[in-house]
Amino acid sequence: MKLNKILAFRLIMSILMIAGLASCSKKSSSKNASRATGWNVDSKKGSKSKKQEAGPGLVFVEGGTFTMGKVQDDVMHDWNNTPTQQHVQSFYMDETEVTNFMYLEYLDWLKQVFPPTEENYKNIYEGASPDTLVWRNRLGYNETMTNNYLRHPSYANYPVVGVNWIQAVEFSKWRTDRVNEAVLEKNGYLKKNAKTQDVTAESSFSTETYLNSPTSTYGGNEEIVLKGKKGARAPKAGKDGKVTEAKNIYAQRSSGIILPEYRLPTEAEWEYAAAADVGQREYNIYKGQKKYPWSGDYTRSGKRQSKGDQLANFKQGNGDYGGIAGWSDDGADITNAVKSYPANDFGLYDMAGNVAEWVQDVYRPIIDNESNDFNYFRGNQYTKNKIGADGKVEIVTKDNMKYDTLSNGRVMARNFPGQIAQVPVDEQETYLRQNFDKSDNRDYRDGDKQSTRYYNFGSEAENEKQKEEKIMYNSPKHNVTTDSLGKMVRKYDKSSKRTTLINDEVRVYKGGSWRDRAYWLDPAQRRYFPQDMATDYIGFRCAMSRVGAKSDKKKSARN
């Protein structure tokens, strides 16, 4: 009996020791303990993994591999659709094209913040406004669209047109700032309703300015740019009675709430998203290549509920933009309201027809997959923040704003007050690098001197005249400026030796439009247009890069 009591006592002591060791182990593996140093790290300051939230209007597109440039028909013989295998990272894309209502929100903001009646800002609103005259035709009566398409509420949910590539890029930048401004207000880093009540030309919000110099945002107004998150406790006095100012009192990238920038999608991203081959995936293969963003070889629906309905808005034939009265083929003659046709397998609407869409890329006939087959994009122009004489970033003001005069004479603002001035990267960033060696990479491997058939390695430097005669793309070089009175000074290139329209200022646009035949609805078809010109059939939608995990959900072999 005594022996049994001793054994029982030892068993109880062993259990208590094991429990104590487990408790110590649990404490030492605290959630806040750094795996690098063992120090206690407050997970609220950014060490905790946080999933990216989709911005307003965006749909998640899971990345993957696909065959870019593969078309089923090539009756035009453009020789610019050589199939290449490409891989695209996951990203987000607008569910629909940018509508008139969305763009008018941008114009109204510009008009409120930068009044056109003030001399310093008179060109900002005008430079951002769509060209409504694109609807006019020498042998057609289209004044109704010229006067009403942009602003009449009947067209509010129709895709915006008359917007050139540069304007689309500027809208994307504006949208980035407005979305992040709302996010920071929601999380208590900005004064409530400051974005509408306190914003002025000299007191506005820029995402990059906030991240690099928070105290310069809203003109340095501390009543708007708040120190610390909503609900954060005020710092307490120490034993010596002194109050230590809290660190990281402004939101940072590590806070996980500031979204990446809205931008135009790259050509590879747009084509991948439009094709939506994921809808035909089984296990690790695609079951065939789609001709259009939907399955099948026809433009009409084969589903029982909608059999015979057109799946996109396009030109049916000569003099046929919508079908006969009473039962229209596609329900539209010009553009149509977004979401009028079924979405593709990524949940994206109007990736064929309605309006064609700008993408980021500079146009070249060949996609150079030998140089890169991952996130392919031609058009990189690397810049950095301009640092002033005081060693701080230089903030744009009304006195140092820059304007550009486009080839058609339109004047557009290059930057807005409150933003950080940008300059091209220099040798300090490029010296001895292997991945890039200059700021402007638009003509890399196809248009620079080394790409021409005249290039002779090791030869003596050529003079400017010889360089001009032996460049890859000798497109016309018009020069349009404005004089001190604001009048256009036009200098046209009258040379008879120009052989192409391709240069570093032409951009790719994708997808067919209401003006196009079904041939152009193929996602792999590609065309180009000058970046500073607009039409009545090109619109755009925005994209946003995905940070973090490639996928949103757990995988299964079949689905």
Lookup: tokens for 69: 């440039």
Q: Would you call 20 helix, strand, or coil by DSSP? A: helix
Task: Specify burial of residue 5 (Cβ count, 10 A radius: 0-12, 13-18, 19+).
Answer: exposed
Long-range pairs for 406-409: beta carbons < 8 A, 24 or more residues apart: 406/164, 406/166, 406/480, 406/532, 407/478, 407/480, 407/530, 407/532, 407/533, 408/480, 408/532, 408/533, 409/480, 409/482, 409/488, 409/490
In CATH, what class is 55-183+258-294+334-374+507-551? alpha beta
Residues constituting the chain: 559
Q: Say how far apart CA 266 and CA 528 lie, in whole Å.
A: 14
Cβ–Cβ < 8 Å for 310, 546: no
What are the residue ranges spanned by the domains of the chain? 55-183+258-294+334-374+507-551
pLDDT score of 558: 58
Per-residue pLDDT tens listing for the chain (559 residues): 555 666 666 666 666 666 655 555 454 455 566 667 777 665 544 445 678 888 999 999 999 999 999 888 888 888 888 899 999 999 999 999 999 999 999 999 999 999 999 988 989 999 999 999 999 999 999 999 999 999 999 999 999 999 999 999 999 999 999 999 999 999 999 999 999 999 999 899 999 999 999 999 998 898 999 987 665 555 555 566 665 566 668 999 988 999 999 999 999 999 999 999 888 887 777 877 788 999 888 888 888 888 888 899 999 999 999 888 877 788 899 999 999 999 999 999 999 999 999 999 999 998 888 889 999 999 999 999 999 888 899 999 988 898 888 888 888 999 999 999 999 999 999 999 999 999 999 989 888 777 777 777 666 555 555 566 667 788 888 887 777 776 778 888 888 888 888 999 999 999 999 999 999 999 999 999 999 999 999 999 999 999 998 887 776 665 5
